[in-house]
Amino acid sequence: MDALTSIFETDGWTIYLWLIVGAIIIIAVIYWMRWGVKNEQFDEDIKYLVFDKGDKDKMSAEEYAKSQEVMQKQMESRERHLAMKRGGEQAHKA
């Protein structure tokens, strides 16, 4: 037990451990943010996707038009991603 406590009492090497862990965290955050941008995860209009045509009477004309526009863009994005996925699966089968 004394050996374990003496390891943690010695100073000097722990700062390097914290620097390495900090660098790993920063690299991971940058990687996941890059992934999010590439996969359209930072869309501020995502809130409009919860509405459908049944909510038209609860929304102003501008909000409804915006929600339909966002829904159309989302469906186009979905079709684009599905087409890329299908293309990738066909390439793996060949």
Structural domain count of the chain: 2
* CA separation for the pair 94, 44 (Å, rounded): 39
Q: Are residues 58 and 90 in the same domain?
A: yes
Q: Are residues 89 and 50 in the same domain?
A: yes
Q: Are residues 36 and 52 in the same domain?
A: no
Q: Are residues 23 and 49 in the same domain?
A: no
Q: What is the pLDDT of residues 40-83, one digit of tens each?
A: 778 777 777 777 778 888 888 888 888 888 888 888 888 988 88
- Domain assignment of residue 72, given as a range: 44-94
pLDDT at 94 over 60: no
Which is more confident, 6 or 68?
68
Mean pLDDT of 12-27: 92
12 φψ region: left (φ > 0), alpha (ψ -120 to 50), beta (else):
left
Q: Are residues 70 and 91 in the same domain?
A: yes
* CA separation for the pair 34, 23 (Å, rounded): 16
